[in-house]
Structure 1
Amino acid sequence: MAPTSRLYLTRHAQAEHNVDLDYTIPDAPLTPLGRKQASSLAHTIPSHLQTRVDLLVSSPLKRTLQTTLLGWNPVVQRLGKENIICLPEAQECNDHPCDTGSSRQELEANPEFECLNLERLTEDWTIIAERAMKVRQFLREREEEEIVVVAHGDILRQITATVDGPGTYSWRNAEMRVYRFDSGSVESEDCWLTLEEVVEVTGGFAPTSTEMDIPGEEKGKVNGKI
């Protein structure tokens, strides 16, 4: 167990369903702009951070897998397949086609994802507070100290929930925020997280499939240096 781990929670870059709010697109991949946003992550994130990350975790939806491969490419190139894990519990929260992942067989047949560890994807992985808790528990039990998690706005709000309920922050596309485990609850079943820093990068506001209102101005930045 490494309860002192730093968790680099990252929202995926712009996906096809973000553009026209068309949630009928099956397992929506990144747009060309989204690919540029994700690629920019690799150049925006400090190089010393890219060299010390020792575990990559991603939702198995295409847009998060693509963001992982493009945005954290130096880490992907450095880590072995066993340390690039697709975690089904980190998928998005809804049953819209855009939020429903592809089968393991389809992902394995796509050469773009051949360097990813898909072994945790069971046949029913696509069937939310409890799932988010399982994500935190999984991360808590890992021995790695510097862990990247690439996921979705809605599930990230659940992962960063507190005893008062889910978070309310509107994650931007290709945004990364740094969390640690709360020392007072790290040994409990909930194992809450606390915000350490915000790294604002490449993307703008794009609604998740459960957000009805998008903030008219950007959220305040938590100053910090990685």
Structure 2
Amino acid sequence: MTVKATLKRIFLTRHAQAEHNVMSDWSIPDAPLTTLGRQQAATLHEQTKDTIQKTAELLVTSAMRRPLSTAVLGFPDLRKRLEAEGKQILVLPQLQECADWPCDTGSPRAVLEDDPEYAGLDFSLLTPDWTSKQGFYAPTDDALKHRARWNRRWLRERPEHQIVVVAHGDCLRYMTQGDNTHEPWANTEVREYTFQVDEHEDKHGDAWLVPIELVTRAGKTEPTTSELLEMKDR
């Protein structure tokens, strides 16, 4: 049974600290978590194991290494419960980071599937073009706004009541505010949202999200790629 959009609860989560966040090095391919980032993800587990990990009905993550690892390390209880119900962690390429630097470009599906840490995740939605940074995945403002709208509509159309989403700072800003506003998002910060109106009232089909509350955060507000680039240009 489909849940009304205004009754849904979407728990948007930024990934834990990754290597490019602290090294200001955009050349790191599909930048992984740092040691501290992995500790932050473990803390995220402790902070949520008695709340949303007991109630969420879907765990979906960007297909890049840092959110994949955050999802695996941060939500193990949720994963175990969902897998017992026949639901794997769903890997959604549309949640990938916005820029086209190596650190923000994902790895091929075969590479990710060969990584033992990601064994058992559902990579079936990864198409060959997901790392192209062209067309639907282009790093242009228009394409990013279109992709954010696609993500919101996808979440609204899902049948689940509570959904945990693990993604990236810039991606989350486009999803929640319609633009890259540089609003601070801490590493492993979790915010609860719902939809502004139900689908039949959404005249423009934007599926806007509205905040409910801050759930938790285990890390600091590390800059995203776009912020690092702005600091570099100053």
Whether the TM-score (by the shorter chain) exceeds 0.5 is yes
In 1, the alpha carbon distance for the partners of 2:75 and 2:98 equals 24
2:35 to 25, 32, 36: 32
- 2:136 corresponds in structure 1 to none
In 1, the alpha carbon distance for the partners of 2:37 and 2:210 equals 28
- 2:76 corresponds in structure 1 to 73
Structure 2 residue runs of 5 or longer lacking an equivalent are 133-143
Alignment of 1:1-226 (within 5 A): 1-2=2-3, 3=5, 4-45=7-48, 47-80=50-83, 82-127=87-132, 128-162=144-178, 165-183=179-197, 187=202, 188-211=204-227, 212=230
In 2, the alpha carbon distance for the partners of 1:198 and 1:123 equals 36
User: Which deviates further from its counterpart, 128-137 or 180-189?
Assistant: 180-189
In 1, the alpha carbon distance for the partners of 2:131 and 2:205 equals 24
Secondary structure (helix, strand or coil) at the match of 1:199 reads strand
Name the Cα RMSD after superposition: 1.6
Q: How many residues align?
A: 211
**1:63-105 alpha-carbon deviations (Å, 9 max, x no partner):** 0000000111110111126342111110000001000000001
Give, in angstroms, the shift of residue 109 of structure 1: 0.9
Asked if structure 1 preserves the Cα contact closer than 8 Å seen for 2:16 and 2:188, the reply is yes
Higher helix share: 2
% identical aligned pairs:
45
**1:152-178 alpha-carbon deviations (Å, 9 max, x no partner):** 00000001025xx45442111110111
Secondary structure (helix, strand or coil) at the match of 2:60 reads strand
In 1, the alpha carbon distance for the partners of 2:30 and 2:162 equals 28
In 2, the alpha carbon distance for the partners of 1:126 and 1:193 equals 27
**1:29-63 alpha-carbon deviations (Å, 9 max, x no partner):** 00110000001001012503211111001000000
Asked if structure 1 preserves the Cα contact closer than 8 Å seen for 2:45 and 2:76, the reply is yes
Structure 1 residue runs of 5 or longer lacking an equivalent are 214-226
User: Which residue type is aligned with residue 20 of structure 1?
Assistant: M
Asked if structure 2 preserves the Cα contact closer than 8 Å seen for 1:39 and 1:71, the reply is yes
Secondary structure (helix, strand or coil) at the match of 1:79 reads helix
**1:119-157 alpha-carbon deviations (Å, 9 max, x no partner):** 000000122011111111110111111100000000000
The TM-score normalised by the length of structure 1 is: 0.88
Secondary structure (helix, strand or coil) at the match of 1:125 reads helix
In 1, the alpha carbon distance for the partners of 2:128 and 2:65 equals 17
Secondary structure (helix, strand or coil) at the match of 2:87 reads helix
Asked if structure 1 preserves the Cα contact closer than 8 Å seen for 2:16 and 2:33, the reply is yes
